Amino acid sequence: MNALKVLAEEKFDLSKSNVADGEKSAGAGDIDLTAPAEPFQLGSRHPVSIVIQKISQIFERIGYTVVEDKEIENEWYNFTALNTPEDHPARDMTDTYYLARDLTHMLRSQTSTVQIHTMEQKQPPIRIISPGRVYRNETISARSHCQFHQIEGLYIDEGVSFADLKQTLLYFAKEMFGEDARIRLRPSFFPFTEPSAEMDVYWGLKTESDHRITKGTGWLEVMGCGMVDPAVLDNCGIDSNKYSGFAFGMGIERQAMHLYKINDIRYYFENDLRFLKQFSSSF
């Protein structure tokens, strides 16, 4: 044991001597190893990414599965299978971005296309949410943009009712915005749901910004929803006499505006570091 101890000490002294010689030859002896390291800026996640994750986790807790798909689609998935009439204004080039030299393919205008793919490939029960980027030929303003993000949900099974839809959306609002969150459903129309509704969340009317973003009502529209039209189920090979379901779709930017009290949707796409750094500690 003594011999081993002596050998270890010799090895240590030799290594120490080699390190000291190397530092002198490289001029490293002038470096203060106790000095603080160079500061590294903490990166931040984009608020849209934060909200997508938050919404996905809310619905995953009640059995929904996240499904994503491509952003370039044809007319069947973007319009026809969703019961959109041939003369519907949404099909016009003034509303949809068609690919150059090919008027049968376009940048998807809604993530409902993912629902059609899923229903063609799988029989009920189906319970999915589909987040992703969508594109519409709209004027850019504080309230709208030509590109934005959506999350759409779909639930298909036997005996699904509008009451199931309402309770699901109320659960989402309370999980997303707090137990005091208030919602309202207004009658609306979408080609792929019947009956259809718009859901609003109460924003408030405390500031001038609140009045501007809610048009003086205090309510902010956050999503469309409704019972899946039987024609859509039939288009996808699902028996509409046996199954029913509901669908909903929301803009992620709108959810983030409500969550973080952001009053201009253009901030999300301008890459202004002063804006993005505010989310450095968000997870």
pLDDT digits (tens, 9 = 90+) for 62-112: 999 999 999 999 889 989 899 888 877 777 766 788 887 667 788 998 899
In a domain, 142, yes or no: yes
Is residue 264's pLDDT more than 60? yes
- The answer to whether the CB of 67 falls within 8 A of the CB of 130 is yes
Examine the pLDDT at 280 and tell me if it is beyond 80: no
Provide φ and ψ at 50, rounded to 5°: -60, -45
Q: Is the pLDDT of residue 267 over 70?
A: yes
Q: Is residue 10 part of a domain?
A: no
Secondary structure letter of residue 147 according to DSSP: E
**Range of 43-47, 81-85, 91-95, 124-128 with top mean pLDDT:** 124-128
Residue 272 tokens, joined:
């202004």
Strands of 98-99's sheet, edge to edge?
Answer: 72-74, 102-107, 98-99
> How many Cα atoms occupy the beta-carbon half-sphere of 259 within 13 Å?
21
pLDDT digits (tens, 9 = 90+) for 192-238: 999 999 999 888 888 887 787 778 888 888 899 999 999 999 999 99
Tokens of 86: 């041939």
Would residue 193 count as lying in a domain?
Answer: no
In this structure, are residues 78 and 113 in contact, taking their beta carbons and an 8 Å threshold?
yes
Residue 30 placed within a domain: no
Query: Does residue 259 form part of some domain?
Result: yes
Quick check: 114 pLDDT over 80?
yes
Is the pLDDT higher at 42 or at 121? 121
Flag whether 219 is in a domain.
no
Please provide the average confidence, as pLDDT, over all residues in the chain: 86
For residues 176 and 84, give the distance between their C-alpha atoms in angstroms, rounded to a whole number: 31
Q: What is the CATH number of the domain that holds 129?
A: 3.30.930.10
Q: Which two tokens stand for residue 99?
A: 């690919």
Question: Does a structural domain hold residue 137?
Answer: yes
pLDDT bucket at 27, cuts 50 / 70 / 90:
low
Buried b / exposed e over 217-233, threshold 16 CB at 10 Å, is eebbbbbbbbbbbbebb
State how far Cα 201 lies from the chain centre.
Answer: 18
Which one is predicted more confidently, 50 or 279?
50
113 pLDDT tier (thresholds 50, 70, 90)? very high
Number of domains, the chain = 1
CA distance linking residue 198 with residue 216, whole number of Å: 18
Q: How confident is the model at residue 169 (pLDDT cuts 50, 70, 90)?
A: very high
State residue 92's pLDDT score.
76
Domain that holds residue 57: 47-180+230-279
189 assigned to some structural domain: no
Which residues, in sequence order, are CB contacts of 234 under 8 Å at separation 6+? 240
Mean pLDDT across the stretch 111-140? Answer: 91
pLDDT of residue 121: 92
Please give the pLDDT value at position 102: 66
3-state secondary structure of 58: helix
